Structure 1
Amino acid sequence: MWNLIGFGLVVLIIVIFFAIIILIYNSLIKLQNGVEGAWSQINVQLERRSDLIDNLVETVKGYAAHEKTTFQEVARARSNLNNAETVKENEKADNILTGTLKSLFAVAENYPDLKADENFLELQDQLSATEDKIAQYRELYNEIVLTYNNKREVFPNNILANFFNFEEAEYFEHEPGEVPKVDF
């Protein structure tokens, strides 16, 4: 009788052990997918901003054709952002693009007719709204990364995370004070 109870107890402990492993694994997968989903939202907004910048550059070109260097820098920075693959590459390219946008807006300051152009004003509004969305999604992404990284680093999750190769997620940081002002 005790052998049967002992055997049942061992089976119960094994079942509980595997249930815990499955729960931890599934929670790590959900968080990892959350990180990827949040990054996807940032990427969508970065691409939208890139498209808006292209339209903005074309609008400014019509007024300031001799500002070729500024346009080339913005185009190069935009291309680098579009070709970035990792979070860190995106972070670096985004910061460079932000700097070139400041130059573009400085050029626009010199052209009163441009500042009054309806298309230019609409693009500014859209760009400003997109910058706000990027900031919101960056914050959400970083919160999810924090939750995921914490979950994968605490015991006993860290054992399973290492065993199943759950890698640490990178934060998407932005240099403080680098968001271009789009109001004229």
Structure 2
Amino acid sequence: MELLMSIIVPITMISPIFVVYVVLYNALRRSQTKVAEAWSGVEVQLKRRHDLIPNLLSSVKAAMGHEEAIFTQLTKARKTAHDALTSHDPQLIETAEANLSAKLSGLRVQIEDNPEITATGNVETFQKQLEEAEDQIAASRRLYNGNVQKLNAAVATFPGNLVAARHKIGPAQPFALEPLEYDAALMPPQLNFN
């Protein structure tokens, strides 16, 4: 009987710790999986935007032949962003996509300055598609960043930090790409009270 008690007592003391450990480990792995799935969604939406740009450029190019520098810069920015996407590095992608967004914004200004281009149905269609792509990128980015926040909180707090350190589960990087602004009227006004 004494031998049986010497076995049962340690098992009943250790088993809850083991159960908590397994539950935490599984929760961390699920969080990692959700982050990876959400990142995949971001990449898909960024690729979709990259695929729309050549169509927009071809629609605008004929009417804006004198603005060849804009097309060259935008094409280079698109290639850089596409190449960065294959790296799967959020910081590299963020930088390349911010540059691409800036170039697209410059093209948007040029299109708005040329009413004959704006009147073209194809350009308007591609602009709407690009705007939809930006909305999808923003939605995917919000989902990804939400999952990153949950993972990072679990990795940073006790007792999850112990399990995470043991299995080399680290925090993930958020993706802070700002959506491309399409309408100056949607921008908040700049107030100066001086």
TM-score relative to the length of structure 2:
0.87
> Which residue does the alignment assign to 1:66?
66
Measure how far apart 1:149 and its partner are. Answer: 0.4
Aligned partners of 1:45 and 1:133 also within 8 Å = yes
The one-character-per-residue Cα deviations of 1:116-140 (angstroms, maximum 9, x if unpaired) are 1111111111111111111111111
1:157 matches 2:171: no
1:125 matches 2:115: no
Measure how far apart 1:155 and its partner are. Answer: 1.1
> Which residue does the alignment assign to 2:188?
none
After superposition, the CA RMSD in angstroms is: 1.8
1:96 matches 2:92: no
Measure how far apart 1:60 and its partner are. Answer: 1.0
> Which residue does the alignment assign to 1:22?
22
1:103-182 counterparts in 2 under 5 A?
103-175=106-178, 179-181=180-182
Aligned-partner Cα distance in 1 for 2:123–2:2:
83
Aligned residues: 182
TM-score relative to the length of structure 1:
0.91
> Which residue does the alignment assign to 1:35?
35
Structure 2 vs 1, CA of residues 130 and 182 (structure 1 numbering), >3 Å: closer, same or farther? Answer: farther
Aligned-partner Cα distance in 1 for 2:69–2:183:
20
Measure how far apart 1:182 and its partner are. Answer: 6.0
The one-character-per-residue Cα deviations of 1:68-93 (angstroms, maximum 9, x if unpaired) are 11011111111111111200011111
Any gaps of 5 or more consecutive residues in structure 2? 185-194
The one-character-per-residue Cα deviations of 1:146-166 (angstroms, maximum 9, x if unpaired) are 100001111121111111111
> Which residue does the alignment assign to 1:48?
48
